[in-house]
């Protein structure tokens, strides 16, 4: 009976993650479930960080797996050293021009502390419960909204491929 309650609880928590709203970079209200994906890679991104080059690796992952059901979503954040000072339109332009980013981006959000976006609060709670440490932390989420794995900033996007393969 307890295991059934645990499974039901995970199921509700997952759907809660999938249905938490946020604004896309164009200002439209979205949820993860609105992308109808088999797997989601949610990343807090920055434009002026030592890890900003990971945008290219994230785009490669997106191109490799999008037809199989992966969506990568970049959440620009200015929480760490003011490393994303640009407004949304400038963030989008920077990502496209410098790294060819075509995966969805959101409006700028806080990802840590009491001002963290509702989605990031849920992702943190559903994973290690540790605050986001820096830009480019990554959350791999399955189609049921369960956080399968969380990756620190230094974890290169290309090394996530085997974990994505398991979900697709």
Q: Known catalytic residue: 49?
A: yes
For residues 50-72, b (16+ Cβ closer than 10 Å) or e, as one string?
A: ebbebbebbbbbbeebeeebbbb
At what angle are helices 2-18 and 118-126 packed, to 10 degrees?
150
User: What is the Cα–Cα distance from 124 to 99, expressed in whole angstroms?
Assistant: 27
Catalytic residue among 49, 101, 123, 147: 49
What is the DSSP pairing of strand 70-76 with strand 39-45?
parallel
Residue 43 contacts residue 73 (beta carbons within 8 Å):
yes
Catalytic residues: 49
């Amino acid at each position: 009976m307890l295991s059934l309650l645990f499974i039901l609880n995970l199921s509700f928590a997952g759907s809660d993650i999938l249905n938490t709203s946020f604004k896309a970079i164009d200002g439209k209200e979205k949820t993860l479930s609105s992308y109808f994906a088999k797997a989601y890679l949610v990343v807090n991104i920055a434009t002026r960080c030592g890890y900003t080059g990971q945008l290219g690796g994230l785009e490669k992952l997106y191109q490799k797996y999008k037809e199989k059901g992966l969506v990568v979503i970049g959440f620009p954040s200015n929480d760490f050293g003011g490393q994303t000072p640009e407004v949304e339109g400038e963030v989008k332009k920077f990502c496209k021009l410098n790294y060819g980013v075509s995966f969805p981006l959101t409006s700028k959000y806080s990802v840590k502390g009491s001002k963290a976006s509702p989605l990031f609060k849920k992702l943190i709670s559903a994973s290690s419960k540790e605050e986001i440490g820096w830009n480019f932390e990554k959350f791999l989420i399955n189609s049921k909204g369960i956080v399968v794995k969380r990756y620190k900033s230094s974890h290169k996007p290309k090394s996530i491929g085997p974990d994505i393969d398991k979900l697709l």
